[in-house]
Amino acid sequence: MEKILEIKDLKVHFNTFAGTVQAVRGVSLDLYKGETLAIVGESGSGKSVTSKALMGLIPKPPGEIAGGEILFEGKDLAKLTEKEMQNVRGADISMIFQDPMTSLNPTMTIGKQIMEGIIKHRKLGKTEAHKLALELLKLVGIPNPDVRIKQYPHQFSGGMRQRVVIAIALACNPKILIADEPTTALDVTIQAQILDLMKNLQKQVDTSIIFITHDLGVVANVADRVAVMYGGKIVEIGTVDDIFYNPQHPYTWGLISSMPDLDTNEDELYAIPGSPPDLLNPPIGDAFAPRNPFAMKIDLEQEPPMFKVSETHYAATWLLHPDAPKVEPPEAVKKRMKKSPNKKEEN
């Protein structure tokens, strides 16, 4: 598969009164043409900061790209000026945020807002842009687009607004669409509809999608691959099947154990004990060690490298070192591993 984006050892810092917050601590990631890559991880793990770096949206100061490269079509986006970045933003890479209202202009009809992008980036005339705007509204599932195109954002429900935002993001035909928690502000039924929409769109528009969420539950339905972030780093990456049926990192085990299990009906959800690392003073070894029941001495002394599990699957845990003791994953994870589509005979 062809790569569209290559992130190499990206580091993002925020210089605050308290000290330097190391929000992203060496993220390396490839995005392939036409795929949906999910980035999951708990609050503060660096998901939004990573995606904002791709869009050139890190506020400077206090933020800075402290190292690494973001390679896109032969350019290093980390080194572009704001002016150069403006041509990339919208045209090549678009972003959808959590709250649709923040991305819509309340004083402009939604038709005008969609057409702006089309006229600017696709170099089309007004009539053509209007036609395409109607098509985009249809594509994102807005009924009566002829009427709706003349209306203002306040005339739309939350779910419909997010559809409009998606239409705007697609207006300039981006090569990469970043969706940062696009459904968390919506209620559950609407969430499912927007997720369905995102999934279907991808087949129709051939855009690569980065889908950010803290909810591993929604990932299986939308993504091809999953990157798990913890404390500003990617700790495990693989296909959806790799991550759900053969997870290797104890943090991923924790995430999977905290997913509601439809079979057992247990009332209490598991939560990973402890709290995320202090990014002002990141620990020396594996940042997850203090919360890891399987932590070894080396976890406190040295950062684990990315160990290769398979061609598609990598995880940064010392447990994968040949000399590490074999440990059993928690029950909830083992149960899921047994359900693996590749292990049907064991069911």
Token look-up 């490269």 returns 69
107: contact with ligand ATP by CB under 6 A: no
Q: Looking at 14-22, 66-74, 100-108, 165-173, which segment touches ligand ATP (CB under 6 A)?
A: 14-22
User: How many chain residues bind ligand ATP (CB under 6 A)?
Assistant: 17
Question: How does strand 36-40 pair with strand 93-96?
Answer: unpaired
3-state secondary structure of 50: helix
Residue whose CB is less far from ligand ATP, 68 or 145: 68
Q: What angle do CA 184, 286, 305 make, to 5 degrees?
A: 100
Under the binding rule (CB under 6 A), the answer on residue 66 touching ligand ATP is no
Report how far residue 230's alpha carbon sits from residue 244's, in angstroms, rounded to the nearest whole number: 17
| Minimum CB–partner distance for residue 181 and Mg ion (Å) | 6
Q: Choose the one of ligand ATP, Mg ion, none that binds residue 165, judging by a C-beta under 5 to 8 angstroms depending on kind.
A: none
CA–CA dist 10, 20 (Å, integer): 16
Is the CB of 20 or the CB of 109 nearer to ligand ATP? 20
Quick one: three-class SS letters along 279-294?
Answer: CCCCCCCCCCHHHCCC
Mask: binding to ligand ATP, 134-163, rule CB under 6 A, as x and -? ------------------------------
List the interface residues with ligand ATP, window 263-292 (CB under 6 A): 279
Residue 48 binding ligand ATP, by CB under 6 A: yes
Question: What count of Cα atoms within 13 Å lies in the side-chain half-sphere of residue 49?
Answer: 29
CB nearer to ligand ATP: pick between 159 and 232? 232
User: Which one of 56-64, 69-77, 139-147, 189-197 is the stretch in contact with ligand ATP (CB under 6 A)?
Assistant: 56-64
User: Cβ(246)–Cβ(337) under 8 Å?
Assistant: yes
Residue 95 or 279: the one with the smaller Cβ distance to ligand ATP is 279
Euclidean distance between CA atoms 138 and 30, whole angstroms: 32
Q: Which residues pair with 229 in a beta bridge?
A: 234
Chain residues 38-57 in contact with Mg ion, contact rule CB under 5 A: 48
* Strand ranges in the chain using DSSP code E only, listed in sequence order: 3-16, 19-32, 36-40, 63-72, 75-76, 93-96, 176-180, 208-213, 225-230, 233-239, 307-310, 313-315
Q: Is residue 40 close enough to count as binding ligand ATP by CB under 6 A?
A: no
214 contact, one of Mg ion, ligand ATP, none, CB 5-8 Å limit per kind: ligand ATP
Contact window for ligand ATP (CB under 6 A) among 13-21, 86-94, 196-204, 252-260: 13-21
Only segment of 38-46, 166-174, 243-251, 309-317 that touches ligand ATP (CB under 6 A): 38-46
DSSP assignment letter at 247: -
The footprint of Mg ion (CB under 5 A) covers 48
The footprint of ligand ATP (CB under 6 A) covers 14, 16, 21, 23, 41, 43-49, 59, 62-63, 214, 279
